[in-house]
Structure 1
């Protein structure tokens, strides 16, 4: 965390001609001092703690492709910014079959005040200032879940709730790149779309919630490749919505 803030904003002064900005809700595995999750430290480098590869992509989109970025600085296990305040998973007691003992009986209201509310307040202010033409929300997903043998063949997925304007264009453009693309896969934006529901759909702003399979972006080379592809594809989508 920088200055004890649960987020950081990179390139916030940039305004791209296509009006894009980036959001990364699950970019960090940081656990602030005073919070004990009670899990094996090795798990903090796995998907239950953060979206692997996403921070590198958001950084590159901002620094190399001039896309303003709002980036989380706290692990989803401390407070999940991609959940509504009234959802139990906003301070998860378990994740992908793993118990999070330190969150059982945790002071949820304190976590919301320290992390969730400042994060979303600052994101809303950034959107009001930049007035983006489209928001790109970047996430990553595992090739399979610990709790299931079902494989996830998609290299990238586009999630949406009610507003699928941008997603439809993005699905087509990614398929033209020769990729296997998920349409509301591996998760459905009808159930998991809290940040974009709040900041995009509620304000009539087109958006793409992009889920990239982790093996595509586990390395710096993969992150650079995907940042370049996202900047290109999302720039073209923004001109169509």
Structure 2
């Protein structure tokens, strides 16, 4: 029975991601983000449960990547598509009812926003590569898809809850979004060693980087709220690079 617990958590991740897709398509970024956060929560604990229950399996590995492809691959691509669509003044929706829009030429499909889906493609490549890479047990090579997803979905949350003309002007600048899209694709598959939040023991000596990172995350979230998320991702990369240099 216990071998099914991690897979059940993984399927909950997939369910949350699927619901997030529906809300993201409907421009309901707040609810979509909630289900993304919930999906990432299940994604963290499915691996934790598998290790604690000693029921890790190849099926669980493959299922985890399939679930992540939706929650942390498709959703951020759709969110970026929607944000880019806002910069070219298009509704990015289909006018009229379904029966009146059955042909390809009836759809308003702007080209520029489609760049956002590059994030989905880069996420798929990373997840497939991760499954084949036997080295990534205690660290990540490139930015994990959940972290990248948090970065992307934080943008509409920042605009909604920390309304600022200056910040909104930056986020809704098409060149900023295009640059972030390409940066996101690069970081997902970059040959950069990033530490994983996996604790073999609870000693400060062996987990100093992790403890300091978690503490800084808490401080940033309290002070900056959703605007802290991009800062945390940058901090994660910087601390990983410094940790690698220190180790060497």
Query: When the two structures are superposed, what TM-score results if normalisation uses the length of structure 1?
Result: 0.28
Larger Rg: 2
Point out which structure has higher relative CO (alpha carbons under 8 A, 6+ apart). Answer: 1
TM-score when scaled to structure 2? 0.28
* Larger proportion of strand: 1
